[in-house]
Structure 1
Amino acid sequence: MNLDERLNPTEKRAAYSLALLFALRMAGLFMLMPVLAVYGQELVGFSPLWVGFAIGAYGLTQAMFQIPMGWLSDKVGRKPIIFLGLSIFAFGSVVAATADSIYGIALGRALQGMGAIASTVMALAADLSRETQRAKVMAFIGVSIGLSFAASLVLGPILSAYLGLSGLFWLIAVLSLFAMFVVQFAVPSADSKAPSGEVSANSKQMLELLKHPQLLRLDWGVFTLHLVLTALFVVMPFRLLDAGLNAENHWQVYLPAVLISFVLMVPLLIIAAKRNQQRAFFIFAISLLLFANALLLINGSSVWVLGVILAVFFVGFNYLEASLPALISNLCPPGNKGAALGVFSTSQFLGAFIGGSSAGVLYTAGGANLVSWFAIALLIIWIVVSLGLRAQSGIKSYSLTISSPDQPASILEKLQVLPGVVEAVVIASDNTVYLKVKTKEFELARALDLVRAA
């Protein structure tokens, strides 16, 4: 195998260390989702309404600060901003740990969200990897997030039974400090930056992408996905308690549901790719979320039924969570990946905020079933929106550095006639050419020869 087809030592170290960083960071967030509604009941001012706001507050500040923190990392460096974000996150965790009211918890959660480093970490991953290997590094990080989510749903109820809600926040603060240790001693330092189009959320580009009908479908999708997920975990702990399952045993439902969902989700991804039926399976996965919420309306009072419902839900959720970023890369115009992911991430965190806050309001007004009806309505809209999805199979994006950017028109003309090239854009100021290609027809070596000879 050609060495260029493998991760080099720096890329391996970046993949492992940044995956660990993400896992530590996300575990602190995910562990709270299944327990806040249960263990927060002794707090001053506790109500389902404020539980929803406390869970969703993180998403609001993430949506507000994600892009500015990414932009700042372009100016002052990746690692300083990651340290800053982790420090803010740790401070928010301490505020929540010392709070004796649900209002203090909500404030701590909002502060946690202000330490918005996801875009900066992804930018650092891009800086530390060659374009040909970047997708592998990103995929490694994505897997770590999924595993962290699965583990946290189980560990959250178990640890909360021993530590309490305050102790869990203290543990999260400690995990943040350990994450700083990982950044300092395990994460490589970048000698160069990836092309800005790969990682930066340019405001002008973002406004243009808001008019892109295919990307808007995906932005609505990730908004709805995280809204429905967050809303579910505002009410699911109450449902399990009503079904007679003690809080410390909730993990006994979450663990089998998550494991079963992973076992069933992977074959769906493989079959969809082999049959080139991504849109059909995408809509099927949304339908699973819809079916799970419909089952909650029919019979949401049995522990066994709730376990089955969660398994069905997570099959759909995990499939969609894995598919959406890949579709963004597939559909975004060349050289606009950073801006496209900026809009995508903002939509995701806004969904989490509105999911938590709206679920709290609806649960207070009409109970858990009203939350399920709300989710069903949004999922039906998502299915209709997704009918117009036009994702292309076998499409991949490349960004190549131009050694001599004096004749961008000439370079562009030569690249556009190469077999398999769908779109090509040259950014002379960035010394970069962006390509979108059909993988079966495109030969990267030929493109590299043209770029080097320019």
Structure 2
Amino acid sequence: MNGNIESKEHISRRLGISASFVIFMTTFIDMIGFGMIIPILPFHPETVGAGALALGILIGSFSLMQFIFSPLLGRISDKVGRRPIIILSLFFSAISFVIFGLADSFPLLLISRITAGMATESAVAQAYISDITTEKERSKGMGKVGAAHGAGFIIGPAIGGFLSVYGLSTLGFVAAALTLVNLLFAFFFLPESNSKANFNIQTNSDGYWRRLGSALTKPLIGAVFLILFVTTFAFSAIPVIVPLLGIAYFGFMELEMSYFFMYIGVVQILLQGILIGRLAKRWGEANLIVFSSLIMTLGILYMSLFSNIFVFITSLTMISAGIGILNTVLPSFISTRTPPDEQGGMLGVTQSVGSIARIPGPLVGGLVAEFAGLNVAFILSASLVLIGFILGFKLLRAHKFGEQ
């Protein structure tokens, strides 16, 4: 059993609504709020006035907080349960949007992004899915959560682009109200999934981190984390350098930038919601990890070499598909190789590896684009993903990481 309340495949229904539906909807609505804000950041007066580096700082600070809080919240959810952590995260997420709505200076804008990063609940949501699915169904379950992310990224930017004409304060307050509705939905309908949750459970922090350290020294986990780090580092520059390219070469404004993020969501929901389960069954998770690195490399490289709108869309499709596969398969790949009572913590560490990469990624992307040019920034990102592909391919094959 995997720490779920009733069975591996199903959890009890509360008021006729399944737990899987509630966690998918909670993730979906949470990503709507996130998607409303992100496309508008390059156009915020405090960002425009401070330059590309400021945009990198805003995005990087969010990832820094994710790095700090994701494993902490994941481990706490192993101890006290998934439900209270998800609800608490939604509460602080609402606060971050209120601060965004009130922000009339760069420090306040930065505080809003820091608070949003502290409110990360992705690792806990993934652990929730691990609780209520079998190993065979886990990729499919993670794919549905990824699809919820993608769907939120379709709706969120659309709402954000529309509301931006009414002012950024309105945008922030609407996102906060939506998040509060999400909090109430989770509060009334989301059951606990972790039967081993116990407030009085004795936790040995040192022993826990020793166990995690031991897992990370295994070639399998190390290889996967290496791929995760370099590809995430490269992809984290995309929200900085791609909008800059869109503004410079295509004249994108808030609405067009929202379409750009919407398209990422469309690609990911089609991939993660429909195809990823079938692909994982046919080709295996290890092969999909390597394949995602390859198509990301090609997509980033093409975008830098051929700056026209057709290649822009094609490249964006490849990049979105690559990161979508990676973000879906990696948590499933790692969770199936982790003891059930450590999955929340390990998935938190997995997210933190990505968060570490996302801290310098936006800063480096912005600096390189500003001082060396956009083409150099794209080529640098493609080179990083290529390194991950080559090293990951060799490590996966050398240690027989393919699905048995």
Deviations 1:96-149 (A, max 9, x none): 22112333212210111112333344445556x376798365554343223323
Identical aligned residues as a percent: 23
Question: Which structure has greater helix proportion?
Answer: 2
Query: Does 2:38 correspond to 1:33?
Result: yes
| 5+ residue gaps, structure 2 | 1-5
Q: Is it true that 1:148 corresponds to 2:152 in the alignment? A: yes
Give the C-alpha shift of residue 269 in structure 1: 6.3
1:273 corresponds to 2:276 = no
1:289 touches 1:313 (CA, 8 Å); kept in 2?
A: yes
Alpha-carbon distance, 1:248 to partner: 1.6
Aligned mates of 2:191, 2:327 — CA distance in 1: 28
SS in 2 for 1:250: helix
Does residue 95 in structure 1 map to residue 102 in structure 2? no
What is the match of residue 209 of structure 2? 203
Match of 2:305 among 298, 308, 318: 298
Find the residue that maps to 1:55 and give its secondary structure: helix
Amino acid at match of 1:112: A
Instruction: State which structure, 1 or 2, has the greater radius of gyration over its C-alpha atoms.
Output: 1
User: Within the alignment, does 1:393 sit opposite 2:403 as a pair?
Assistant: yes
Alpha-carbon distance, 1:42 to partner: 5.5
Q: C-alpha deviations, 1:131-184, integer Å up to 9, x for none?
A: 679836555434322332344355443443x34433322222122211210122
Match of 2:3 in 1: none
Distance 1:75 1:317 in 2: 31
- Kept in 1, the 8 Å contact 2:36–2:156? The answer is yes
Q: Residues 104, 132 of structure 1: CA spacing in aligned structure 2 closer, same or farther, 3 A cutoff?
A: same
Q: How does 1:298-337 map to 2 (within 5 A)?
A: 298-300=305-307, 302-332=308-338, 336-337=342-343
In structure 1, distance between residues paired with 2:176 and 2:258: 22
Higher RCO (Cα < 8 Å, 6 or more apart): 2
> Aligned equivalents of 2:386 and 2:57: distance in 1?
25
In 1: Cα distance, 2:147 partner to 2:117 partner: 22
CA contact (8 A) 1:45 1:103 kept: no
Q: Say how many residue pairs are matched.
A: 384
Q: Secondary structure at the match of 2:38?
A: coil
- Does 2:239 align with 1:219? no
Aligned to 1:244: 251
- RMSD over aligned Cα, in angstroms? 3.4
Q: How far did residue 239 of structure 1 move?
A: 1.5
Instruction: Give, in whole Å, the separation in 2 of the partners of 1:249 and 1:216.
Output: 39
Asked if 1:343 is matched to 2:349, the reply is yes
Unaligned runs of 5+ in 1: 395-454
- Pick from 60, 66, 69: which aligns with 2:70? 66
- Could you tell me how far apart the structure 2 residues matched to 1:112 and 1:139 are? 24
The structural deviation recorded for 1:14 is: 1.1
What amino acid is aligned across from residue 281 of structure 2 in structure 1?
A: A
C-alpha separation in 1, matches of 2:403 and 2:218: 19
CA–CA distance in structure 2, aligned partners of residues 173 and 294 of structure 1: 38
Give the superposition deviation at 1:303. 2.6
**How far does residue 255 in structure 1 lie from its aligned partner after superposition?**
4.7
Q: Which has the higher strand share?
A: 1
Contact 2:151 2:266 in 1 (8 A): no
Q: Select 2:51's aligned residue among 47, 53, 56.
A: 47
